[in-house]
Structure 1
Amino acid sequence: MTDLVWLDGQLVPAEAARFGLLTHSLHYGTAVFDGGRHYRLADGGVGVFRLGDHVRRFLASAETLWMSLPYGAEQLCAATLAVVRASGRGDGYVRQLAFYGDERIGLGARNPVRVAVVAWEPGGPPGAHVKLRIASLGHGGGWVPTAKHAGHYGRAFLALREAQASGHDDALFLGDDGTVVEATGANLFIVRDGRLVTPPDHEPLLPGITRATVLALAADLGIPTLEAPIPRHHLVGADEVFLANSAAELRPVVLVEGRRLPAPGPVTARLVARYRAVVRGEDPRHRAWIARVEDPA
């Protein structure tokens, strides 16, 4: 983790960011977060990819938990850039976090909201190949899938541990109708007969920012796309499968439900190459997606 974090309006040493055991969000999962990667750009500068989109979703998530944040989008973007700048890293991950404090305990306690931004170096390289299984846990629509609530991730944590215990890297959730919805922390894409397919955003899934990026890049490349429910037999019969999120980027799937797949397949490889060029500022059509932390030396 970086030596400095942004907490409640100012940069402070990471060791100063300490919270009590009665912190409401620690007991009841009442926190929201968002975040994405920053990159060393092709011209030598540093930029955060799609920062404005992440901050807007962060603020929308906070509203769903009745959080009144004392900072707006402009302040949060500036805070994020300051934390990345302070980290001194070209490539890394940065997260915005809001949670209820520890003034009082009890589910109905109305504690002040704390807001933080923290950056760190991810544990592994993006785009690693992945082996998938279907989670034994359900994934119905009785929650707020468009918001990044910390409490929602308990189910994802259990499904991920279950997958890892059986020799897999991640798990896929099924919706109430039995179609495949998303992974524990990433959106799902399959390729069938040259067409890129992903579940529609009215399914119980987080409509990810990287998902939107992939769909835009597919359009640039002339790859046909379809947002449609994915039955389980379409998944296991797909020509290619990959997962997409901001932290791990595009992850080709090498095994799904015991069936081996080319990883990456030709469509996935084209999208991976374009994505990596875009996030480093090599594509002038999408440089507006990059919030500069610093200019070239």
Structure 2
Amino acid sequence: VSFQPDCSVVGEPSMASSWPLLGQSQNTQHIYGSSMDSLKLDEARMLLSGMDYSRTTCQDEDGDTILHIYTAKGLREYAIAAAERLKEVGRLDAKEHKGKTALLVAVTANQPEIVQDLLSLGADINACDFKGQTALHLAAHYGFPAVLRALLSGRPNVNLEARNFEGMTPLHCAAISHSVTMKAFMAAPADVGLQAKGDEKLSCVQMLIIAGASLLSQEIKSNKTILHLAVKEGNIKLVDYLLSFRLPNMKDFVNMKAHGHTALHMAAGLHSNPNQEKILQLLLDRGADPSIRNLENDQPAHLLQSGPQGERVCCSLFLSVIISKYIGCS
């Protein structure tokens, strides 16, 4: 079903009486937080008030309401008018066939203004789709910093540690997504679009951490922290950023285990990765312990690649740690 904003359907003007009257919409920017076309909003409200009541409040065969459709198309003023109508009947958070509310559709469509509008009207910020993904998960996955900013701005009830059905928090999703983009960029370093997208996704990681997302949260399935995820993919940019924090328990963070493996074990297993040595050094500089053994009783040095390169890395990095410890004790 396609709802067009320029259609002229005459129907019941039911429940429009509670909407702002024409000529009063100059204050709507204070309600929704940013400027919009007030005349277009008046037009949208008039259009919906003239539509059949069921058309503005019911769902089609895919579960879409008129609000889902206007939101997906980025028709802000019409989305506001539809959201006002659905709020009146308690259906602002109606879900379509994939479990997405209009807010989740707005996030996926990268519509930060509509996200802000729906939140102002009372949309559930922690609603999730059929994969358990909240608005934060989706914004983090797609790397939409403007949307994420709208979600985090002044929203004390947002659940930063919500788990999707894969057991991941939004921060885990942001880290994985950033690594995917950085891997693509490494394969095509001249692609400025990929570089820009990588920067956007890193800013999403940063915003979540600044907002209070826990660096210590572990995936349910693998027990990996965001550091494990970054190291496992050889994502030097994200590893460097995460290790730049001055945490009081930095050594504990760096040496956390994921099914027995520390981040140092994972770095040692990055055979042929051009960032391996840099990541190993960063971890050691921030307190990674090369003596910790995994469930197979292996220390990180045992997982290095064989041959001259592995021996060189072992000597230059792990022996330097041992020497520094002796110097520190003398």
Give TM-score, length-normalised by structure 1.
0.26
Structure in which a larger fraction of residues adopt strand: 1
Structure in which a larger fraction of residues adopt helix: 2
Q: Which has the higher contact order (CA 8 A, sep 6+)?
A: 1
